[in-house]
Structure formats: C-alpha cells, structure tokens
Chain A
Amino acid sequence: MKNVRVARRYAKALMAVAEERNMLDRTAADLDRIGALVRGSRELRLFLARPIVSEEKKRNVLRNLFGPSVGPLTMEFLLQLVVKNREPVLLEIIEQFEELRDEKLGIVSVDVTSAVEFSPPQEKELTQKLELHTRKKVRVRFALDKAVRGGFLVRIGDTVLDASLRHQLEVLRERFTESGPLTN
C-alpha cells in the first residue's frame, strides 16, 4: 500500500509506451501471467524483495523465468525495474496497471465480502444490480469473511455499501451505549 505513488508512476509509463507501440493487450496479458506467478510463489516474492541478491543475478533469473513467454517490451520493463531497484514493487505496479486499464475501458472493479458464499444466480443478480447502480461495466471479486457474520458489503472505489450484520450490530451497540459527542 505504501508504494502506491511509485507503482502508479511506473504503471502509467508502461501504459504509455505500450499504447505507443500498439502492444497494450499483449502487455496486459503478460503482466497478468507474471502477477499470477509472483502471487503464487513465496520464494519468488522473497527473492525479488531481497536487496542482498545482486542485480546481475536478478536479471538472469527474470530472463530465464519470463524470457521465452513474454513480449520484448515487458521484458525490457522488468529489467529496467531491477536497474532502478524497484523490483520489490512489482506486484503493486501490476495492480496499478490493471486499474489504469480498467479506467480506460470503463470497467469498475468491485469487492464483495460476505459471510456465506453466493450461489451463481445470486452472483449474477448482484452483478446486474451493481452495473445498474454504477452505470458501468463491473468486474466483481467475491471474498469470504466470517467476521462479517451475515449479509454482505460491497466496496466500489472508496465507497462502501454496507449491508452486513456486523455493521448493524455496531450501530446497535452505539445506540445503547452512551455515545460521545463525536458520534452524536
């Protein structure tokens, strides 16, 4: 989270270059794949974050891992990250890149957290409702969290639509206990 500003700048730059060379889709697909791999491998994450490993070694590993599968632009970008010592931020850059691309395509990503899993028809209904609400295309990510207790909460950007039991219980507790002047 801390490196949002850095990540956003790198993502913007990559985006601009990719558009210029007409390689946006290819680059996006590459980054998706890299992201999945980095997320999946704790070893790789630790390796990238370790400042003790020399630049040379990092570059070799990245070349060996991704060289055959990704486009030249993506490879160039990865190597440049190592030169600038920003490889620990790779995951965040990928996230920011996805966000930027979504913005461009008019897609809103929405997080839904619930205590019980949604059934497929429920998921579909919710997605349709959200698309109506935001008037944009919606990509919904569902997550489970027992702490919600019941109901669900939807997060669109900075705004939360809270229909969870947890929140209602909190409100109830505030009503019963003496609320300070701040909550009046």
Chain B
Amino acid sequence: MADVRPEEVSAILRRQLSGFEKEVDVYDVGTVLQIGDGVARVYGLTKALMSELVEFPHGVFGMVLNLEEDNVGCILFGESSEIKEGDTVKRTGKVASMPVGEKMLGRVVTPLGQPTDGRGPITTEKVMPIERKALGVIQRQPVKEPLQTGVKSVDAMIPIGRGQRELIIGDRQTGKTAIALDTIINQKYTHTEKAKKEGIKPVYCIYVAIGQKSSTLAQVVDKLQQEGAMEYTTVIAATASYPAPMQYIAPYSGATLGEYFRDSGRHALVVYDDLSKHAQSYRQVSLLLRRPPGREAYPGDVFYLHSRLLERASKLSEELGGGSLTALPVIETQAGDVSAYIPTNVISITDGQIYLESGLFNSGVRPGINIGISVSRVGGSAQIRAMKKIAGRLRIDLAQYRDLEAFAKFGSDLDKATQAQLLRGSRLVELLKQGQYVPMPVEKQVVSIFAGTNGYLDEIPLEHVLRFERELLEMMELKNPGLLLTIAEKKDLSDDTVARLKKILREFTDAFKASVRA
C-alpha cells in the first residue's frame, strides 16, 4: 500500500464505481415470524430454494432448510440476538458455498471459509457449493495407492488406501485425535523431493473440528505448526462456541475443499473430528425446526446426513485425473457402546474401522488399537508389497497370542509351542507400541516388524524391546541407509534384500544381547 499515487487512487475509485448506478434492483424478501436458538421462521420468501443462502439484517446469513406451506425455516450462521420479529429477510439467489484454493492451506477458517486465525483475508478465485452430490460409479476406480498413517499397527494390519473412508472409533481419552493428527503429520514426507522420486504424490490435509473446545483446537493447530504440517493443512473450526448450524455444515465445507484438490488430480485427506457431535448439532437444528424425532431423538435422516458426506470420499478414474479424497471420520462412543445409533450408522457406511479401547490404552498399549475387531475392507490392495509380505505373519501371530493370552498365567506348565507363541505375541505387542507425534516411515516399519515376526525379538527381554527397536533403526539409518532406500523405492522385499536384512539383524541382535547382559 506504500506507494499509491493520487491519480491511481481516483482510477481505482472509478473502477469500483463503474456500473454502480443501476437503475432498479429487484430482490425477494420475507419477514421474520419467529427467531431463536439459531433457527428462524420466515413468512414470505415464496420463491426461496432449498439450501439457498438468505440475508438477515446486521449482516447475518442463514440457509433455507425447511420449505413449508406458508413459511420457510432457516438456520442462522450468526448471532441471532440482534434479529427481531418483523425484520426483513432477503434472498441471495445463491446456495451456501465455500471459497476453495491453495491459499486456504495453512489457515484456520470458519465453515463458511472466513479466516479466524487473524492473518488477514484469503483471496481465492473459486467458490464451490458446500453440498455437492457424490460422484457415481463411472467416475471412480478402486483404491490402489496407500495412505501411510505412520502408525505401525495401522499401516501393517489396518491399511488405509487413498480414497478410502476409515472410521476411528473409541471412548473419550483413547487417542482418536492422536491417530488422526499423526496421519496428518506423516503426510509431510509426501511433500518432499524424496517422495516425488519414489512416485508418491503429495497429500493435502483438512482437519474439521466439530464441537470441540477452542482450547483443544488451539493445541492441535499449535502442534501442527510445530511439526511443520500446517503448510499443507487447512483447519476448519466449528468449535463448541459456534452456533449449531455452523457445526452442522462444517464437515460439508471440509469435503468441498477436499474435492477441490481431488478434482484437480491431487490427493486430499479430510479428518472429521468428530461426527457424534455433528449428529448432535444436526439433532438440535432439526428439533428446533420441529422435525419429528426418531431413535435417540435424532431425526429420520441422520443416516443420510453421514452417508452423503462420506460418499464424497473417492478415488477418481484416470480419465478424471486420478485424484483422491480420503476420509477419516471420528466417532466417540459412550462406555464402549458401539451399538448406539450413530456409531452403527457410521460403521456401516465406512470401509472399516480402527477401534480404540480405554482398557488397552490404560494398560500401556498405545495407541490402544484393538487389532481383533479393527478392520480395513479395501486398504489391503493399497498396501506396499513389502508390508503385505510381513503383515500377514504379524496378524496371525497376534491372533494366536490373543487366543492363548488367558493361559499366560500358567507359565511354565504350558508346552513348548504355546510358550513360544506367548513369547512371540508379547514381543509383538510391545513392538507395536509407539509414541504420539512420531510417525514412522514405511521402510522403517518394515524392518521393525520383520525383526519381530522373524523371531529376533524372542531372544530379547520384554523391557528391552523398545530400546532394541530404537537402536536397530538408528543403526540402519547410519550404517545401511542403502537398504532402507531400496525398500522405499522398490516397495518390495526381494530374496536378496531379505538375505541382507537377516544378516544385519543377526549381527545386531547378538551385539544387543551382549549389551543387555552387561
């Protein structure tokens, strides 16, 4: 703004003013009949369309959600306290939409796309409607590329593919958000030169916070910034202080932004955290609009509410650029009750679920994923070959361990084979433990799990397993970076690689055992 000359100012003013002297403006209006709690009934507005944006006084916008015989039900996206009965409501002729573009990355925005991070306005060229129809069968193709979460137990046994919808479900305080955040942070490597060489395309992330505490969200944003993950991430904030209508549209805005990346041939990941709160805010809005309540007082269309949202996740066909939109919805259960209404709905819509248990979490298994009942229905075909080869063994070993776990207390009374299985299982469970915000690249995961399933860990005392893993990976990075690179680039374990890996592991294990004894 520093050097604008006076003549330029008048030129700008003239440009702004041109076309201003329109003779008559025509618009449709209605009158507020009733207002309160984020919804309004409006008389008139006879030509209003479904989900059209309407303008109330004091710059408050609303969206048409009910078209009735003699009035229109609207939800409000702003303060309703300043609006009175009898106020005039104007039609805008537009449906609710969201600005999209690269400029949104690194920002915290409201569900309507206005920035709330105090870093100035966002200028985007494109605006897309919030509610869009999901793509049909012809435009899609099966999921085939992996979306690495960086969490060992997920990438090995519950693999997620780009374009998949994987539910993260669990009680409060079981680490649901942690898995989602780790996944976002782990996408950082997809934006590096190294990933480009390996043929891995960058993944843009969108984190939609629905009904969370603002302080929690501030921590999340702060963490993402520290990890350098905000560069490719947009946070859509509809915290608990936002009116319910805003929380209701937030995930759709997130999907719209994700679709922008998908439709331009890129890859996007959207985290909806969480959909239980989303269903609750929709219930609030619906009941206030006097729609009849159904089970658990949710309206009849809560299933459609979530199915139309999650159906928008997709992997596009090559003709359409091959972009993808992966969805990670989060559901919070009450006391582990997955048979409640919303959890069963979302479980049936998604392509699998990651089930987190507070029991596991509290006993030190973190992330507290219950491998037994967690599934991924489509991700398997997206896993890299190297991982696929070793993950099968891991899954079997862990399943056997779970079956035998009850006998563990008999200790030495058990036969040799059972004891060996228990030993192996306990080592693997220990190996799958992982800290928060430390996602692990897939090649390191492969080495780590290879050591576990091939019995190298059986010789190590349980309490030294994590140190073993840490030092093994350090050693690999320092002394054998070539081998890690081979796994990352070939994405497969050839016989030669296996032989080399076995040799290195043998030497390392022997050296490690000596250090334990000392």
Question: What residues make up the interface of A, taking CB atoms closer than 8 Å to B?
Answer: 1-2, 4-5, 8, 155, 157-163, 167-168, 171-172, 175-176, 178, 180-182, 184
Contacts and interface: CB of A to CB of B under 8 A. Distances in A.
Nearest to B94: A182
A172 B22 CA distance: 11
Nearest to B91: A158
B410 interface: no
Contact of B85 (A2, A5, A167, A180): A2
B33 interface: yes
Interface string B64-85: 0000001000000000000001
B46 interface: yes
Interface core residue of B29, B46, B92 (most chain A CB under 10 Å): B29
A5 B33 CA distance: 11
Contact of B46 (A2, A5, A157, A171): A157
B419 to A, nearest CB: 65
B70 A4 contact: yes
A163 B127 contact: no
A2 B34 contact: yes
Given A2-B85, A171-B20, A181 B27 contact: no
B61 A182 contact: yes
Nearest to B77: A182
Given A8-B70, A162-B26, 7 more contacts: A4-B33, A158-B30, A159-B27, A163-B23, A171-B25, A181-B99, A182-B92
Contacts of A1: 31, 33, 43, 85-86
Contacts of B53: 182
A158 B45 contact: yes
Nearest to A170: B25
A4 B33 CA distance: 9
Interface in B1-53: 16-17, 20-31, 33-34, 43-47, 53
B25 A158 contact: no
A181 B43 contact: no
Nearest to A176: B16
A161 B43 contact: no
22 contacts: A2-B33, A4-B43, A4-B70, A155-B29, A157-B44, A158-B28, A158-B46, A158-B47, A160-B26, A160-B29, A161-B26, A162-B26, A163-B24, A168-B21, A168-B22, A171-B20, A175-B20, A178-B121, A180-B114, A181-B99, A182-B61, A184-B127
A60 B427 CA distance: 95
Interface residues of B, number: 36
A181 B121 CA distance: 10
Nearest to A180: B114
Contacts of B33: 1-2, 4
A106 B364 CA distance: 79
A172 B20 contact: yes
Nearest to A184: B127
B98 A181 contact: yes
A8 B43 CA distance: 13
A162 B22 CA distance: 10
Contacts of A5: 70
Residue among B24, B92, B121 with most chain A CB within 10 A: B24
A51 to B, nearest CB: 21
Contacts of A184: 99, 127
Contacts of A182: 53, 61, 92, 112
Contact of A167 (B25, B92, B124): B25
A178 B31 CA distance: 28
Contacts of B276: none
Contact of A158 (B17, B20, B44): B44
A175 B19 CA distance: 11
B24 A162 contact: yes
A180 B97 CA distance: 12
A8 B70 CA distance: 10
Given A163-B23, A168-B20, A184-B127, A158 B29 contact: yes
Nearest to A171: B20
A166 B85 CA distance: 22
Contacts of B175: none
Given A4-B43, A181-B113, A160 B28 contact: yes
A176 B127 CA distance: 20
Contacts of A162: 24-27
A5 B16 CA distance: 45
Contacts of A163: 23-25
Nearest to B15: A175
Nearest to B61: A182
